Homo-oligomer: A and B are copies of this chain.
């Protein structure tokens, strides 16, 4: 028993790899002359957001008011809440409290949503108009963007520009084409805004799979999230190499039932995300041919593809499919600095509102 080492399963961060990942994206953005505003929902920790800030991030992106509260409370003063909030008075009051200490920018994607936000927050917040660039989740079309922007401006929001999330980049063959879609849609919407008399100072996009393909002739800002860690999805998409992955779950082999290794890491620490392109529920860095073929709440069944079974009681590492949801399942990450394992609090864990 080593003091300071938690029982399995626990999430471990390779700090050297993390720092390399943070630096790589910072350099990419700096070289292209665009701002980097990382999505901190991926890690939900203050330590990693500060690394990103020190590497030159222009601000941060969050998904919820609760996340914004954590980061503004810790001193982050430029926060984009990239979500089509439907504000009520209570949510608006929480945001107003933050505008005393930080520049807050929100997402709008409909005339009704813009007017509702303006009713509560006129003169207090900036806004970016969300475009659908092909994921078909939220966001308006380029030919509607000017109407939304004008409604937001008329409702008292400071319309600073446009954003999209090219989430359809989560497909092995679509990383470059999703970035092209992103650029085309943002460019068309920017033209529409200018024709409507609103200059889009911010044109924001980016995702980890499409990052290397982002058109920085069109975009002024990139908002990737997962790049700090990588995960099995990025590995299988070809967006990050296994030796760049900085987040793993350390697990114990508890069973050899059926001639397979069963680990004590299940869906309650790895998450159950599985994209259509995923080959399993997680990957093992030490066994690239192995797959997590069955996932229960506290059991991952690993097919080792013929490799010898790791002994009962031994520990192995698993790369979660999706880092963002794994992190949200734990109270702390264990940061391996090379000298020690240090707990980093997942300060914004569970803050869905």
Interface on A for B, CB 8 Å cutoff? Answer: 1, 6-10, 41, 63-65, 83-86, 88-91, 109-110, 112-113, 116, 132, 136-140, 167, 252-258, 262, 264-269, 271-274, 294, 296-299, 301, 312-313, 324-325, 328-331, 350, 352-353
Contacts and interface: CB of A to CB of B under 8 A. Distances in A.
Nearest to A324: B297
Nearest to A112: B312
Given A132-B257, A140-B257, A264-B86, A297 B313 contact: no
A248 to B, nearest CB: 15
A90 B254 contact: no
Contacts of A138: 254-255, 257, 262, 299
Nearest to A331: B350
A254 B312 contact: no
Number of copies: 2
Contacts of A313: 86, 88, 116
B10 A109 contact: no
B268 A85 contact: no
Dominant secondary structure of chain A at its interface with chain B: loop
Given A312-B110, A353-B7, A294 B137 contact: yes
Residue picked from A8, A273, A298, most chain B C-beta under 10 Å: A298
Nearest to A294: B137
A324 B272 CA distance: 12
Contacts of A264: 86, 352-353
Nearest to A91: B7
B271 A90 contact: no
Contact of A297 (B41, B136, B258): B41
A312 B109 CA distance: 12
24 contacts: A1-B89, A1-B90, A7-B91, A7-B353, A9-B352, A64-B298, A83-B254, A83-B298, A86-B264, A86-B313, A110-B312, A112-B312, A113-B254, A116-B312, A116-B313, A132-B258, A137-B257, A137-B301, A264-B353, A267-B271, A268-B325, A269-B352, A298-B352, A330-B352
Contacts of A84: 254-255, 262
A272 to B, nearest CB: 5
A296 B167 CA distance: 10
